[in-house]
Amino acid sequence: MQSDIIDDVDAWSSKYLRYRREYFDEENSDNSSFSARLGQFLYSPRGGRYRERFSFEGTAVGSADGEVVCGEEAPRLLLAEVTFTHKVSTCSTYVRRYLYVYYLCF
């Protein structure tokens, strides 16, 4: 992370990997295993706060329709949000920081 531009990143992926290693002693997975573990993670104390940041096949981000069901394999993942906080910039550094964040995200 580039600390002169980004203050904080709240990425679900690092918490998911830690959860997976801690509870299932797994490093890698196939699609079926990923979907099953993701469904469990999103109902765990560690992952529950990220549930609304996911969009699965047939759903929209934050939608109650077709969301992950506790104990079931997650539907096909389409999108996951990652929240970050950037530093407040002066006019002279704004453009450089904006371009960095833009290229980081896209």
Long-range contacts of 56-59 (CB under 8 A, 24+ apart): none
Task: Determine the residue type at 40.
Answer: Q
Residue 71: predicted pLDDT = 81
State the chain's maximal CA–CA distance in angstroms: 51
- Nearest one of 80, 83, 55 to 67, comparing CA atoms: 55
Tokens, residue 81? 């949000």
Residue 99: predicted pLDDT = 67
**In the beta sheet, which residues pair with residue 106?**
none
Task: Determine the residue type at 37.
Answer: R
Residue 82: predicted pLDDT = 81
Residue 41: predicted pLDDT = 92
Residue 81: predicted pLDDT = 83
CA distance 38 to 36: 6
Placement of tokens 């002693």 in the chain: 25
Below-70 pLDDT ranges, the chain: 1-5, 27-32, 59-66, 86-106
CA distance 73 to 40: 8
